[in-house]
């Protein structure tokens, strides 16, 4: 991500990346690059088999303007995330709005 982006943990296994002044196509590109990197980089663990392959599902939502709230934006991103999980996991899904 860029220096102006904000990355934070949002729950037990959820993270949020806020990307100001970014269109959905660029956010999708960054998200898919991150997804592929995680998918192809096993995590080393101390027990057999010694490595663990993991994947991630990502939901993207775009702000609808100055009247949009953080709660509404997070809700749309969460809905997109759950669509990614329901449709096979290990994928990026953008909010339809």
d(CA 53, CA 45): 10
Angstrom distance (rounded) from CA 80 to CA 47 = 34
- Find the helix or strand (DSSP H, E) in which 48 lies: none
Q: Kindly name the residue from 13, 14, 39, 44 that is annotated as catalytic.
A: 13
Q: Which two three-digit tokens encode residue 80?
A: 């997109």
Residue 39 among the catalytic residues: no
Residues marked active site are found at: 13
């Amino acid at each position: 991500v860029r220096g102006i982006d904000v990355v934070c943990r949002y729950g037990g296994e959820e993270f949020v990346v806020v990307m100001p002044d970014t269109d959905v196509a660029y956010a999708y590109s960054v998200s898919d690059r991150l997804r592929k990197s995680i998918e192809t980089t096993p995590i080393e663990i101390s027990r057999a088999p010694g490595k663990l392959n993991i994947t991630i599902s990502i939901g993207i939502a775009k702000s609808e303007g100055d009247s949009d709230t953080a709660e509404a934006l997070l809700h749309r991103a969460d809905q997109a995330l759950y669509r990614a999980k329901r449709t096979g996991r290990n994928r990026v899904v953008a909010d339809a709005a």
